Amino acid sequence: MLKAVPGTNDIFAQAKEYPFREPVFRYIISTAEEVLRGAGAQMVYTPIFEYLEVFQKGVGLTSDIVVKKEMFVFEDRGGRLLALRPEPTAAIVRAFNEHGMKVWPQPVRLFTWGPIFRGERQQKGRYKQFHQVDYEALGLSDPLLDAEAIALMVRIYKTLGLRNLEVKLGSVGDPEDRVRYNQYLRELFGPYASDLSEDSRVRVEANPMRILDSKSERDQALIAELQPKPMLEFLGPAAQKFHEQVCNYLDRLGVAYTVDPSLVRGLDYYVRTAWEVHHAGIGAKSALGGGGRYDGLSEMLGGPPLPGVGFGIGVERLAIALEQEGVALPADPSPTLYLAPLDEAAKIEVLALAEQLRPKIHVEIGYTPKSPRKALEDALKKGARYVGFIGEAERARGVVTLKHLETGEQRALEPLQLHSLFEGPELK
């Protein structure tokens, strides 16, 4: 029997293992959507695959995604390389430029959610296909938008009922600040290159900052020993002022955060603001979500200058955190009416009646004829408010036997009476 690829998951209501239960996903996505729409962001769907260059140029040649070949790449029939998206931001920037959103009132604030693909080794909270809710504010370089993005992200987590959050805020500076920082790191790590992991050895020359967020224990041990100065000490005056403004705005909004002077992010396109949201239950090495400013990304993709800031929330990791905090999910809606056939001929009668009532109320039906006692058990299991039976006796009189499950009150109703009972906005 064929099985799913390791690192991919089927998501359904009765899934035994967190975080793969569909009601949890629905809760997260609908809450995020409500928060983001309520703040005026528009939903956008971009394809789950793009030309490889969109992601390769965007995330950077020294990111894990490119170095460790974490992208799922395939050829189209013309031999052009395509990739499943390893992150949504580059695709959204591509769409912004392609559809001339520059002429819309700025900033343009967009959100999306959907599957993301990275060929990482599977562990708890790390999958080959996972899901993200993603928000992007494009077209304006103003620390107000960074503060708003962080506040919205935190509000999504809090609305879901999550506590124990920590927002780590840093700045990766402007490109020229990073040139100075990388030079400093190159000199620091250079003599110890042979102590680094194979991936990081390449980075000493190409992009030593990337060594700092390496997942390799070997690299982390060397970092602990060498104690590099943090990025924040290398900010130029413009990036420094921008960072202070983001902090001031967050203080003013009452959003709690801690400044992490050495925060660096996994993707090359970030400038200035970078942040991560951590949760005790997920472990220090993995973030619940992250975000940052990416003013140079559009130009990396061959587009015009386009400032932007945004975040990605990992749905699976968030589901794990919600479970660990024991957050109760909203109950699934239960049917107002459960209609049960008592004999073979009643099957279609029950379905026909259900279809007439369904625009008004939530109706479920039994699919195989049962005794009234068994059908009643089914209705109770479903949490229905009423159960209706149709059998030989009902057919002879042209009625449905309707029982209110809470009071036990039972009456025989003609279809018209049944319709008017469920017509009103408030049912007993």
The minimum distance between CB 286 and ligand AMP, in angstroms, equals 7
Region from 12-20, 122-130, 147-155, 373-381 binding ligand AMP, contact rule CB under 6 A: 122-130
Region from 117-125, 218-226, 235-243, 350-358 binding ligand AMP, contact rule CB under 6 A: 117-125
| Nearest to ligand AMP of 130, 338 (CB atom) | 130
Per-residue HEC secondary structure of the chain comes to CCCCCCCCCCCCCCCCCCCCCHHHHHHHHHHHHHHHHCCCCEECCCCCEEEHHHHHHHHCCCCHHHHCCCCCEEECCCCCEEEECCCCHHHHHHHHHHCCHHHCCCCEEEEEEEEEECCCCCECCECCEEEEEEEEEECCCCHHHHHHHHHHHHHHHHHCCCCCEEEEEEECCCHHHHHHHHHHHHHHHHHHHHHCCHHHHHHHHHCCHHHHCCCCHHHHHHHHHHCCCCHHHHCCHHHHHHHHHHHHHHHHHCCCCEECCCCCCCCCCCEEEEEEEEEHHHCCCCCCEEEEECCCHHHHCCCCCCCEEEEEEEHHHHHHHHHHCCCCCCCCCCCCEEEEECCCCHHHHHHHHHHHHCCCCCEEECCCCCCHHHHHHHHHHHCCCEEEEECHHHHHHCCEEEEECCCCCEEEECHHHHHHHCCCCCCC
CB closest to ligand AMP, residue no? 314
User: Applying CB under 6 A, which of residues 126, 347, 362, 382 lies at the interface with ligand AMP?
Assistant: 126
The minimum distance between CB 34 and ligand AMP, in angstroms, equals 20
The minimum distance between CB 210 and ligand AMP, in angstroms, equals 13
Region from 120-128, 138-146, 241-249, 363-371 binding ligand AMP, contact rule CB under 6 A: 120-128
Q: What mask of x and - would describe binding to ligand AMP in positions 51 to 90, judged by CB under 6 A?
A: ------------------------------------x---
User: Applying CB under 6 A, which of residues 19, 60, 312, 366 lies at the interface with ligand AMP?
Assistant: 312
Binding flag, residue 32, ligand AMP (CB under 6 A) = no
| Nearest to ligand AMP of 177, 316 (CB atom) | 316
- Tell the residue number behind the tokens 């990025």, with chain if given: 231
The minimum distance between CB 27 and ligand AMP, in angstroms, equals 16
| Nearest to ligand AMP of 113, 338 (CB atom) | 113
The minimum distance between CB 313 and ligand AMP, in angstroms, equals 7
Chain-centroid distance, C-alpha 380:
35
Residues 397 and 387: their CA atoms lie apart, in Å, by 18
Binding flag, residue 316, ligand AMP (CB under 6 A) = yes
The reply to whether 118 sits in an annotated binding site is yes
| Nearest to ligand AMP of 130, 294 (CB atom) | 130
- Tell the residue number behind the tokens 């793009």, with chain if given: 50
Region from 125-133, 199-207, 245-253, 362-370 binding ligand AMP, contact rule CB under 6 A: 125-133
| Nearest to ligand AMP of 208, 289 (CB atom) | 289
Residues 18 and 40: their CA atoms lie apart, in Å, by 32
User: Applying CB under 6 A, which of residues 22, 33, 53, 120 lies at the interface with ligand AMP?
Assistant: 120
Region label for 105, one of left (φ > 0), alpha (ψ between -120 and 50) or beta (otherwise): beta
The reply to whether 89 sits in an annotated binding site is yes
| Nearest to ligand AMP of 249, 269 (CB atom) | 269
Q: Are 227 and 216 in contact (CB under 8 A)?
A: no
| Nearest to ligand AMP of 127, 386 (CB atom) | 127
Q: Are 148 and 107 in contact (CB under 8 A)?
A: no
The minimum distance between CB 214 and ligand AMP, in angstroms, equals 14
The reply to whether 265 sits in an annotated binding site is yes
The minimum distance between CB 190 and ligand AMP, in angstroms, equals 28
User: Applying CB under 6 A, which of residues 132, 171, 200, 273 lies at the interface with ligand AMP?
Assistant: 132
Binding flag, residue 113, ligand AMP (CB under 6 A) = no
Q: Are 230 and 262 in contact (CB under 8 A)?
A: yes
Binding flag, residue 204, ligand AMP (CB under 6 A) = no
Q: Are 318 and 289 in contact (CB under 8 A)?
A: yes
The reply to whether 70 sits in an annotated binding site is no
- Residues 264-303 interacting with ligand AMP (rule: CB under 6 A): 266, 287-290
Annotated binding residues = 87-89, 118, 132, 136, 265, 269-270
Annotated binding residues for L-histidine = 87-89, 118, 132, 136, 265, 269-270
Contact residues: ligand AMP, CB under 6 A: 87, 118, 120, 125-127, 130, 132, 266, 287-290, 312, 314, 316-317
